Structure 1
Amino acid sequence: MKARLAAAGLLGCFVLVAGFEGLRTAAYRDPVGIPTICYGSTAGVRLGDTATRAQCEALLGRELLAAHDAMMACVRVPLTPGQRAAFTSFSFNVGSRAFCRSTLARRLNAGDYAGACAELGRWVHARGVRLPGLERRRAAERELCERPS
């Protein structure tokens, strides 16, 4: 899995997402009440589910590759490694549908890289509540996004 992440330029993204999501091997409710496990995985999770660290790392790797592929399907401009990692992290967090329909994606595809990176800072709410954890995550994603290649 790590070789596939490295080939896609996503090892840094793995570290970023794992750091912000944190590892939880037993299912729990996230800040807005969604059953979550491992490093922020929600698909098919039920309270009472458990996983090992190895299972969680493999799951995160698969989910990041899927988020990357879905994000790249709606990006029509070249990306730096930092932009690729930042937008994959963002897409993993908000979902590829939200990413592809966002002002961020429109700015990016118009070649407005600075504007697209700046848009990250607007996505700090979950169900209408401003979350300090999302503010920190978006700041880290923006820093990656704006990093020279």
Structure 2
Amino acid sequence: MNITMRQAASADVPEIVAMLADDMLGAGRENPADQRPYLAAFERLAADPNQLVFVAEDADDPAAGIVGTFTLAVLHGLSRQGASRGLIEAVRVRGDARGGGLGTELMRLAVEEARRRGCALVQLTSDVARLDAHRFYERLGFKATHLGFKMEL
């Protein structure tokens, strides 16, 4: 698939949310029927130059809509001699576009964008239940170097 990448617009939110909801974890936590919280969140993201939401479209079939997405947050810090890092989140490929290398291309573009923005490293988290995703990230060169913790508020 020949894809084009661009920063997302608010009109893209319904398609992005549909991809977020279309997996084993998202099905239980996303609510595509109510777009209001997603649109409000998108406006916050769009207002922050360190938060970037990208979408992929099929360049050969622009009418096909969005086929993939990811979010990149640029985090500035003091550790690693003041290095910035890119946090890759919400990587999704539409169900009918899976298996053709689009996920690999999305990750390549996320890493490239982080590098372009001066990040010294990229990182991501993946739910412990996503074993296929873990293998995918490892094939791309990511290493499971840390143990992550979360607390719902």
Q: Same fold by TM (over 0.5)? A: no
- Indicate the structure with greater strand content: 2
Q: Which has the larger radius of gyration?
A: 2
Q: TM-score range by the shorter chain?
A: 0.3 to 0.5
What is the TM-score when the length of structure 2 is the normalising length? 0.33
- Indicate the structure with greater helix content: 1
